[in-house]
Structure 1
Amino acid sequence: MKRPLVSLAILYALGIFFFRKITVPISTLYVLSVTLLMLCLLSTKKQRIFNIFLSFFIFFLGAVALKNTQVLSHSHVSQFVRSKDNPYIIKGWIANQPFSDNHKTSFVLRTEVIKSGEHSYSCEGNILVQLKGRKDLFYGEELILRGQLYRPFGGFSASGRSYRDYLYDRDVRLMMKVKTEADLIRLHKTRGFMPRRFALWLKGRMEKVLFRHTSSLTQGVLGAVILGDKKRVPRFFHNSMMKSGTLHILVVSGLHVGIVGFMILFILKLLGLTRRSRSFIAILSLVIYCFMTGVSTPVVRATIMAIILLLGSILKREPDICNSLALAFLFILLINPRQLFDVGFQLSFACVISLIYFYPKMRMLLRIQQIRFACLRFLLDGVFVSLSCWLATMWFIARYFRMFSPVTVLANLIIVPLAVLMTLCGFSLIVIGGFFASLAPILANTCDFLVATLVRVNTFLVNLPLAFFYLG
């Protein structure tokens, strides 16, 4: 097979998809998978038969992976919760970066011990914790909490997905409300993955530089675009970007990872480092940036593809973009098969697949390379990239958000270059402002101007006739 990873990725995803609603004992799937694996080993000399058995094995492997996430162990924290009215005491450590505002602090707690009444039990699993007021907590910190445990609420949206489904996809089965300061005990111990702790510490330092001189609007937008913190984005701006079909600008994705990689490689080249050294440092930096921005699906996809590209540069081999994308696809689904049903996962991969398939065909159809004027070629390339992404994502946006935005192609042509300038300026503020405080206000004012321009342009576009309309 020319692109074996593509075939494996499709078969694995089909197994996850088809067995999502089908009730089959996981033991049956294990037996089928082991049997097919044995048949593969016995038929290695017969290529066609081997390929058939291997295809069925990968298909059922996807089903096993999905069913395995649906089976909870006897020590899972949700198995010990009998009533939402009784208070429980939980010991564990913070598994993500806490988010705080003036009203509450929320984070995911990786549980270790649960106590109900006089009985204590070792446990596992994640819970979403909500505390009243702002608390200065950090990733990896060990805590003892007292509060009520309850299951996330259901209630289906237009897409048929609920908030409970959203949390289940992230391995969170319970929520906990902690009402008073006395119900929170900090153990002053640190757990977690050390590279992620370092990345989040670095993120905190970058936030201080970024937020010191900028307006609240710029803080929200740049916090989302550069650091992956979307909770500070004003609701009006979020809705406006959704209407224009440019909400992807506020999500750290391939565009932002590409900018970070380019800046790192450019700086390292100015310092005179060899290509091999530049590539290794860039790979390490991109992994840290992935942890810094929350390890979301678009970032993981873009980081894996960038790492493959950089490794190809080191090994002096040209990587195949389809196999690279398939490897990222498989990596994410092996860790969490339920991501296949996440809208962010679907939009991210649909956009890249569409670019790979439609964009070259559009260029060949209109023979772009034969156009003499460079400016016209550049403009048409931008149109084709925007159109390719729109063709792939409009179906998902119509389904999940009940919206259709014809203005998206035009909006991307204008807003994406603005977003690139804004992102570059934001990173410049962080890097230069961190060392030369006197230059920070100049760069901050430039960031404020670019964000304000972005808001005005997007508002103008969504107010055009037939720019967008709701479905149903």
Structure 2
Amino acid sequence: MNKQPLFILVICFILGIFFQDYVSLDKRFIVIVIILCSVLLLALFLRSYLSHRVRPIFLALMFFFLGIILHSLNTFPLNSDVMKSRELVTFKIVRKLNSTEKYKKYEVIAQAEGKNIKSILYIPKNVHQLNFNYYYKGWVFMQELKPPVYDFQFNYSGYLKRKNIRYQMYLSGELLSVARNDMSLKESIRQRRLEVLQKIDGINISPKNREFLKGIILADRTEMDSSVIQDFSKSGLVHFLAISGTHIMVVFGLFYFIFRMILPLKFRKYTVILSLIFIWMFALFIGFGNSVLRACIMLTVYFIYVLLQRKPDVLHSVALSAFIILFMDSQQLFTIGFQLSFIAVIGIFWLNQPLLKCFPKQDSYFKKLLFNTISVSVSAQLATIPLVLYYFHQFSFISIVANFIVIPFSELIIICSFVIAALAAFNIDFNLINQGYDIMINGLLTSIRWFADFDTLFFENIPMNLVEVFILSVSVYWLRFVILKFNFENRMILICFILLFFIARAIFTIVENQKDEVLIHDSGKNKVLSIKYGNKALFWISDSTDREKIIKYMVNPYCTSRRIKSAELKSLDVTRKKIIYKGKIYEIN
């Protein structure tokens, strides 16, 4: 507690959030927890009566109880009101979401039957883009989000319920619009961002590159081509699309360079302060995502330490940023972006310096840039591997090489993208600059596509449960000690953890392979029958069903969850209601 008190207290706070989310204490128990938290706080004020050993325990318990209390306030009650299937609603948009093949998606606040409802709205792609300047009114088909039928399916309803969204609506007919005169400052900023995005659409560069520009600078990937996102994912460079610490540092460096050129040397402190103010304004403009907010807080804390002439502490910065984000919304703890973002930073803190010691002496700027790029990339990837395998069930070994080659150019790409976006925002169009940017991004996307084509180094449908995640995380944790002190004891401990990991995987696989299972899945208007026997599975699908979607959203998740080695698809005659397999009759209703 003496070395990293804030980090340990935030861990206790997070454990309290997890506890409340799992147990869901009712109001009576929450009142008791509030009383206990108040008693602990009073005892800490009267610390003269507490021993040095008891005081840290009381403080840790208080933060644990605080996590329970705050998460209970951020947990939304179940709504027993069921809306009609077709409603006339008035709504305003909250944000634009990723589009599908057929629809544009928006998060909206709708008013129906005198109630305000947060919902996901689907509108046809041929409908004009909605904005924050108007209230909209129209008939919609409304559906309550249902939990998945089977455990291997993604719990989309659970994900949205953490945002207090329980319905989805499909536009039916025309939309009427009425100009608003009650826009908040937040909505005005979002509208301005939307207008800049629309101006970028008018730049004379290729559509793919326009969408890349929106994603890398303005955190808008709503219209990005799915093939481009897939290439980034398969090459292990999807983090390059997310606005993260790298982007914030580069933009901060750009502001710092500009102010340093303008202001005299004696105002160097004000240069830092102005750069921090502008980086927060930039973060506000693009939306406070987890990685953006985390990066801004850490950067601010770092330079506060510098301005106060104190040694910066990474774990203090990480802990403080995590606490601020979770204090505002404890549900953020359960988002993949939050978890990966913070684990990556902690991994860099834990492994970067030990890995750098394995490289030759960095006696030049080029060597420092090269070796730091490799060590930071490897550290972040090693730390996040357990979670990446758990959530996405895929990994590409080519990502190490891809990061090594692409990331050193990230600073140039981010700066050029920022300049192009800024010029578009002020309606300044330099065709020569646009052409140069177009050529550069075409080269980037082509190289990433080349990395993504190494299918032999890309592995998907990798099964992983929480027990395996824990063991693998402990192995990554112990890797630091092996690198720093490569002795027999540390090596044997690491080998034991790795062996334990593979033993656990073998046990879970054997247990799953002992089970046989017959399931009937819904695929739109069609049914899909699956029969699992041992480590194999058969799927019967109709010819009218989209096979690629069935494989992506049904076959692959099922095989991953059940640790199936091989799956086979068979044609199903929709006129027949029965399937005969191995002497047994299976009815499809």
Question: Shorter-chain TM-score category?
Answer: 0.7 to 0.9
Q: Number of residue pairs matched?
A: 454
2:121 is matched with which residue?
Answer: 129
Residue 284 to residue 202, structure 1, CA distance change in 2 (3 Å): farther
2:358 is matched with which residue?
Answer: 366
Residue 97 to residue 237, structure 1, CA distance change in 2 (3 Å): closer
Deviation for aligned residue 1:141: 3.9
Q: 1:457 aligns with which of 431, 439, 447?
A: 447
Residue 415 to residue 377, structure 1, CA distance change in 2 (3 Å): same
Give the secondary-structure state (helix, strand or coil) at the position aligned to 2:354.
Answer: helix
1:30 is matched with which residue?
Answer: 31
1:262 is matched with which residue?
Answer: 253
Residue 203 to residue 443, structure 1, CA distance change in 2 (3 Å): farther
1:114 is matched with which residue?
Answer: 112
Deviation for aligned residue 1:143: 3.8
Matched, 1:244 2:235: yes
> Do 1:8 and 1:58's aligned partners in 2 also have CA atoms closer than 8 Å?
yes
Q: 1:53 aligns with which of 55, 58, 61?
A: 58
Matched, 1:150 2:150: no
1:4 is matched with which residue?
Answer: 5
What amino acid is aligned across from residue 138 of structure 1 in structure 2? N
Query: Quick one: distance in 2 between partners of 1:410 and 1:431?
Result: 32
Deviation for aligned residue 1:227: 0.9
* Range moving further from structure 2, 441-450 or 427-436: 427-436
Give the secondary-structure state (helix, strand or coil) at the position aligned to 1:19.
Answer: helix
Deviation for aligned residue 1:140: 6.2
Deviation for aligned residue 1:357: 1.0
**1:264-309: CA deviation from partner (whole Å, max 9, x where unpaired):** 1211222226334433433332233223323221111112222323
Higher relative contact order (CA 8 A, sep 6+): 1
Deviation for aligned residue 1:238: 0.9
Query: Quick one: distance in 2 between partners of 1:434 and 1:164?
Result: 37
Give the secondary-structure state (helix, strand or coil) at the position aligned to 1:251.
Answer: coil
> Do 2:95 and 2:106's aligned partners in 1 also have CA atoms closer than 8 Å?
yes
1:392 is matched with which residue?
Answer: 383
More helix by share: 1
1:306 is matched with which residue?
Answer: 299
Query: Quick one: distance in 1 between partners of 2:379 and 2:98?
Result: 35
Query: Quick one: distance in 2 between partners of 1:291 and 1:157?
Result: 39
Give the secondary-structure state (helix, strand or coil) at the position aligned to 2:413.
Answer: helix
Query: Structure 1: where are the runs of 5+ without partners?
Result: 116-120
Give the secondary-structure state (helix, strand or coil) at the position aligned to 2:131.
Answer: coil
Matched, 1:163 2:156: yes
> Do 1:230 and 1:251's aligned partners in 2 also have CA atoms closer than 8 Å?
no
> Do 1:332 and 1:339's aligned partners in 2 also have CA atoms closer than 8 Å?
yes
> Do 1:211 and 1:219's aligned partners in 2 also have CA atoms closer than 8 Å?
no
Give the secondary-structure state (helix, strand or coil) at the position aligned to 2:74.
Answer: helix
- RMSD of aligned alpha carbons: 2.9
2:94 is matched with which residue?
Answer: 95
Deviation for aligned residue 1:426: 1.6
**1:42-71: CA deviation from partner (whole Å, max 9, x where unpaired):** 352214323222212211221232233334
Deviation for aligned residue 1:210: 6.6
**Structure number, greater radius of gyration:** 2
> Do 2:136 and 2:178's aligned partners in 1 also have CA atoms closer than 8 Å?
yes
Query: Structure 2: where are the runs of 5+ without partners?
Result: 463-559, 561-589
What amino acid is aligned across from residue 427 of structure 1 in structure 2? F
TM-score by length of 2: 0.70
Deviation for aligned residue 1:461: 2.1
Query: Quick one: distance in 1 between partners of 2:43 and 2:77?
Result: 34
The percent of aligned pairs where both chains have the same amino acid is 22
> Do 1:104 and 1:134's aligned partners in 2 also have CA atoms closer than 8 Å?
no
> Do 1:29 and 1:60's aligned partners in 2 also have CA atoms closer than 8 Å?
no
> Do 2:213 and 2:421's aligned partners in 1 also have CA atoms closer than 8 Å?
no
What amino acid is aligned across from residue 379 of structure 1 in structure 2? L
1:447 is matched with which residue?
Answer: 437
1:288 is matched with which residue?
Answer: 281
TM-score by length of 1: 0.86
1:324 is matched with which residue?
Answer: 317
Give the secondary-structure state (helix, strand or coil) at the position aligned to 2:119.
Answer: strand
2:538 is matched with which residue?
Answer: none
Deviation for aligned residue 1:209: 4.4
Deviation for aligned residue 1:336: 2.0
> Do 1:14 and 1:59's aligned partners in 2 also have CA atoms closer than 8 Å?
yes
* Range moving further from structure 2, 164-173 or 409-418: 164-173
**1:133-158: CA deviation from partner (whole Å, max 9, x where unpaired):** 43343236434454233222433898
